[in-house]
Amino acid sequence: MAKIGIIGSKGRMGQALAEAIAQAGHSHAGGADQGDDIGALVAASDVLVDFSSPAALQATLDACTAAGKPVVIGTTGLEDAHHAAIDEAAKRIAVLQTGNTSLGVNMLAALVEQAASRLGDDWDIEILEMHHRHKVDAPSGTAKLLGQAVARGRSIDLAANSESGRDGITGARARGAIGFAALRGGSVAGDHMVILAGDEERIELSHRAENRMIFARGAVKAAGWLVGQKAGRYGMDGVLGF
């Protein structure tokens, strides 16, 4: 069993992670939040799980790299500079970064990739997501994860083929585009749907999160899997075995 430390322990996900660690039989090594000594937590842990904020990511990576400890990063809203920092850290430690730690969502991504690879670009693909009113980033990290699955399936670049924020007279939909729509309201933990729309037929692949414990349990499973892995950058596909 692993000693798992939580960065961002006082947030809603941090509290869920503490419960999931106990459920899985691992040891809770403690938590750290803004202003706390991350180094002490890292030293006491076999693996870290970070659900804090993009602004705190570099400090997490620096501490984990210095101590040679693996880290699971579930923080969303990351930009290119954050991913570059993760790539650099992954040269020295095992880093698992994902937009969603739910096992069900990652299985959905695998199905989406397969569908996108087998259907031509005459099938329009739209990704719809809804989250609670307090979420600050859009599209969600999960929506981006699903968009990346589409892009892999079609062997295209996601950034160059994305459409979002449609408003007013936008013109016809571009062939092969990957569309994103974000809804916010209430206490929704996370709903995602990938729509593949062909002529006179439509496929809808969806996932609904009923409780954020699904993310916590997935993150803890990922943390246990990451212990002992060699340095490198990993995703949830490794945890699921594909």
Report the distance separating Cα 134 and Cα 219, nearest Å.
22
Here the tokens at position 37 are 């000594």
Tens-digit pLDDT profile for residues 152-200: 999 999 999 999 989 999 999 999 999 999 999 999 989 999 999 999 9
Secondary structure (3-state) at 121: coil
Categorise residue 192: left if φ over 0, alpha if ψ from -120 to 50, beta otherwise.
Answer: beta
Backbone angles phi, psi at 53, to 5 degrees: -150, 155
Give the pLDDT confidence score for residue 101 in this predicted structure.
Answer: 94
User: Are the C-beta atoms of 100 and 215 separated by less than 8 Å?
Assistant: yes
Tens-digit pLDDT profile for residues 14-25: 999 999 999 999
- pLDDT higher at 66 or 37: 66
Report the distance separating Cα 208 and Cα 131, nearest Å.
10
pTM comes to 0.84
Burial bucket for residue 108 (CB in 10 Å: 0-12, 13-18, 19+): buried
Contact residues for 155 (Cβ-Cβ < 8 A; gap 6+): none
Report the distance separating Cα 174 and Cα 133, nearest Å.
31
Secondary structure (3-state) at 167: coil
Rg of the chain taking only CA atoms, in angstroms = 18
35, pLDDT greater than 90: no
Rounded mean pLDDT of 132-151? 94
Positions annotated as catalytic residues are: 131, 135
Give the pLDDT confidence score for residue 12 in this predicted structure.
Answer: 86
Q: Which residue has the tokens 């430390």?
A: 5
The percentage of residues in the chain with a pLDDT greater than 90, rounded to a whole number, is 90
102, pLDDT greater than 90: yes
Secondary structure (3-state) at 18: helix
Report the distance separating Cα 173 and Cα 153, nearest Å.
20
37, pLDDT greater than 90: no
The percentage of residues in the chain with a pLDDT greater than 70, rounded to a whole number, is 100
Give the pLDDT confidence score for residue 99 in this predicted structure.
Answer: 85
